[in-house]
A and B are shown apart, each in its own frame.
Chain A
Amino acid sequence: MSTVIQDVKRHAKSGDLGALPVLIGLVLIWTVFTLLNHRFISPDNLSNLALQMAPVGTMSLGIVLVLLLGEIDLSAGSVSGLCGAILAVVHVRHGLHPLIGIAAALAAAGVIGGLQGTIIERLRIPSFVVTLSGLIGWQGLQLWTLGKQGTINLSFTGSIAKLSGTYLHPLLGFALAVVIPLGVAFVAITDQRRRTGRGLPVPTQSAIFAKPLIIGVVTVGLALLLNASQGVPLTLVIFTLLVIAVDWVLIRTRFGRHVYATGGGIEAARRAGVNVSRIRTYVFIASSMLAAAGGILAVSRLAAVNQSTGGSDTLLNAIAAAVIGGTSLFGGRGRAYSALLGSLVIVSIANGMFLLSLDSSVRFMITGAVLLSAVVVDSFTRRGQTVRR
């Protein structure tokens, strides 16, 4: 345990607190809500939380990517609504297979992201302005797509709605909860073996096992609680897999390395031969496609698309989640899992307030305060990193 504390101290010194602030925040939020209403951590409510988290979390994953570049994508909410509408029109109005609907929605998002990215790169217009136009424009296209009716209902027993209505068999859910920390431990151990083989410094045994142990306690506990309700929701699994996949791309691939480099020092990256324009365009495409995926999950949960899908506070929640999770607004710093932790904070607050039957006025103010404190932590972290130069 002492090595873990040392590790935290070392990170804090170098100005990188990682997931620590958001984890502390989560524990606080959960404790307060549980004390105020014990139903907050009831299995049924946790199941709800998991379902609410997937759509905003998936969108937030795309926001994390653009934030890593030091850019912003304000069109994510509208794109999620538009793509939800496209899915509904293709699947319900034209009666095509739901997979075709999903493919059409994702393809449309890819085109939108490519268009926005190209305009930002070729014409050198700030992403803020381009995606702000997108925010308005794509919402218009969404209304046009939905037509005069304005609302399209999906069958509650259809395959799209089933996406959100499917829960894993208790044994399978439990198995997954065990496999994830084992996987983390496996990666850590093979890494240590290979490091020893090359004579590189290795972390201590306790540091290697602390992380999978903590993750394991959380996942197994969560699986047991969710199994007491209806089981682990499929959408939670999909979202978690997406987070793991995006994190792998960011940390383990050349593309991911170039995303960090472009966000942290665009001139250095350009001089090192990184095609920064291409990297940035790809990230805007990925952001739009993840927004669309979030939209699809949202449509699946509500089994309907209307004119306000993807509107209201959808976008702001996704951005807030990314920042609360620890991704810097200044670019170059953050991890994919900040989308997971941040969206958990956002939906926990919304859900907890709802349980306390508080007005949404209070919810907005509290979410705002949490976001502000996350940004303050971010700016302090940034200062800590550069102070010694």
Chain B
Amino acid sequence: MTLLSLTEVSKSYGGVQALNGVSLDIGSAEVVALVGDNGAGKSTLIKVISGVHERDGGSITLDGQPVTIRSPKDAQRLGIATVFQDLALCDNLSVVANLYLGSELCSGPSLDELEMEYRTVELVRSLGMKVPDVRALVGALSGGQRQSVAIARALLGKPRVVILDEPTAALGVEQTELVLDLVMRLREQGLGVLLISHNMSDVLRVADCICVLRLGQNAGTFVAADTSRETLVATITGANLPTARGAK
């Protein structure tokens, strides 16, 4: 079932056409990977979906209903949560405090620390996250744990679609494993996941469907199970497209 659908979405910055008629479907309980070379338009696309930038043309539908996303607040309200690459966590605060930052639970004038901690523990458990102590400072956590915290934070608003921007980019093997497990856990919980990644083996492992962008356009959509790494790389670089080679 299609949850979020983009049709012919375009976006230009001044004279640069960053996106030119890009279409993309994300179903519930589906992991869609978005791959492409630098400058292919991946970042622009997620910025359009998450409301950081407004699209110039095309349409976005959620559950078949057309929606307008003008600001990050709009996206949030529609149930689209984005975890950007720089995570945006406060190193000097605990895991609990980071999760609830900006939407703290209070009882009277004071923080309801206990309730927040309790719900965090529950969430951490349900996601199978490996965070030893939810009261530990985020600055003392490993890269994978920090990524997990950022993802958990996005889940607090009960989103239906989660966009992950390069979640494994700076991580080691073990930490990457941690995050990929979490991505699969999100799918099990029925969420639609849009995963932006440069790492083909990660993408082939967790994604159901892979969407390749090239120079701001759709270059192909593949079912992960039937696709090889070589095909993907060729599509990303444009090596197998006769038009790309024979154009000039």
**Inter-chain contact B88/A268, CB cutoff 8 Å:** yes
**Inter-chain contact A272/B139, CB cutoff 8 Å:** no
**Inter-chain contact A332/B111, CB cutoff 8 Å:** no
Chain B residues near A257: list those with CB within 8 A. Answer: 93, 97, 101, 104, 111
When the two chains form the complex, which single residue of B87, B92, B104, B137 contacts A254, counting CB atoms closer than 8 Å? B104
Report the Cα distance A267→B140, complex, angstroms. Answer: 19
**Inter-chain contact B91/A265, CB cutoff 8 Å:** yes
Residues 213-237 of A, flagged 1 when their CB comes within 8 A of B and 0 if not, give: 0000000000000000000000000
- Interface size of B in residues (CB-CB distance below 8 Å): 30
**Inter-chain contact A389/B143, CB cutoff 8 Å:** yes
Residues 85-125 of B, flagged 1 when their CB comes within 8 A of A and 0 if not, give: 01111111100011001111010011101100110010000
**Inter-chain contact A200/B117, CB cutoff 8 Å:** yes
Report the minimum CB–CB distance from B86 to chain A (whole Å): 8
Residue of B90, B109, B136 with most chain A CB atoms under a 10 A cut-off = B90
Chain A residues near B228: list those with CB within 8 A. Answer: none
Chain B residues near A198: list those with CB within 8 A. Answer: 114, 118
Q: Is B142 an interface residue (CB 8 A)?
A: yes
Q: Is A264 an interface residue (CB 8 A)?
A: yes
**Inter-chain contact A253/B109, CB cutoff 8 Å:** yes
Q: Which residues in window 174-212 of A have CB below 8 A to B?
A: 191, 194-195, 198-200
**Inter-chain contact B92/A263, CB cutoff 8 Å:** yes
**Nearest-CB residue, chain B, relative to A333:** B92
Chain B residues near A260: list those with CB within 8 A. Answer: 90, 92-93, 97
**Nearest-CB residue, chain B, relative to A328:** B92
Q: Is A122 an interface residue (CB 8 A)?
A: no
**Inter-chain contact A14/B111, CB cutoff 8 Å:** no
Chain B residues near A195: list those with CB within 8 A. Answer: 114
When the two chains form the complex, which single residue of A191, A194, A261 contacts B101, counting CB atoms closer than 8 Å? A261
Chain A residues near B109: list those with CB within 8 A. Answer: 253
Chain B residues near A253: list those with CB within 8 A. Answer: 109-111
Chain A residues near B90: list those with CB within 8 A. Answer: 260-261, 264-265, 268-269, 332
Chain B residues near A199: list those with CB within 8 A. Answer: 118
Chain B residues near A194: list those with CB within 8 A. Answer: 114
**Inter-chain contact A273/B92, CB cutoff 8 Å:** no
Residues 131-155 of B, flagged 1 when their CB comes within 8 A of A and 0 if not, give: 0000011011011001000000000
Q: Is A274 an interface residue (CB 8 A)?
A: yes
**Inter-chain contact B93/A264, CB cutoff 8 Å:** yes
Report the minimum CB–CB distance from A334 to chain B (whole Å): 10
Please judge, given known A-B contacts A194-B114, A257-B97, A261-B93, whether A271 and B137 are in contact too, CB under 8 Å: no
Report the Cα distance A306→B117, complex, angstroms. Answer: 52
Report the minimum CB–CB distance from B108 to chain A (whole Å): 10
Report the minimum CB–CB distance from A195 to chain B (whole Å): 7
Please judge, given known A-B contacts A198-B118, A200-B121, whether A332 and B92 are in contact too, CB under 8 Å: yes
Report the minimum CB–CB distance from B149 to chain A (whole Å): 11
Report the Cα distance A18→B136, complex, angstroms. Answer: 15
**Inter-chain contact B140/A385, CB cutoff 8 Å:** yes
Chain B residues near A73: list those with CB within 8 A. Answer: none
Given contacts A248-B110, A257-B111, A265-B91, 16 further A-B contacts (CB under 8 A): A15-B139, A15-B140, A253-B111, A254-B111, A260-B93, A261-B93, A264-B90, A264-B93, A265-B90, A267-B86, A267-B88, A268-B89, A272-B102, A273-B103, A385-B139, A388-B142
Chain A interface residues toward B at CB < 8 A? 14-16, 191, 194-195, 198-200, 248, 252-254, 257, 260-261, 263-265, 267-269, 271-274, 332-333, 385-386, 388-389
Q: Could you jot down 29 A-B contacts, CB within 8 Å?
A: A15-B139, A16-B137, A194-B114, A195-B114, A198-B114, A200-B121, A248-B110, A253-B110, A253-B111, A254-B104, A254-B111, A257-B111, A264-B91, A265-B91, A267-B88, A268-B89, A269-B90, A269-B101, A269-B102, A271-B88, A272-B88, A272-B101, A272-B103, A273-B103, A274-B102, A332-B91, A388-B140, A389-B139, A389-B143
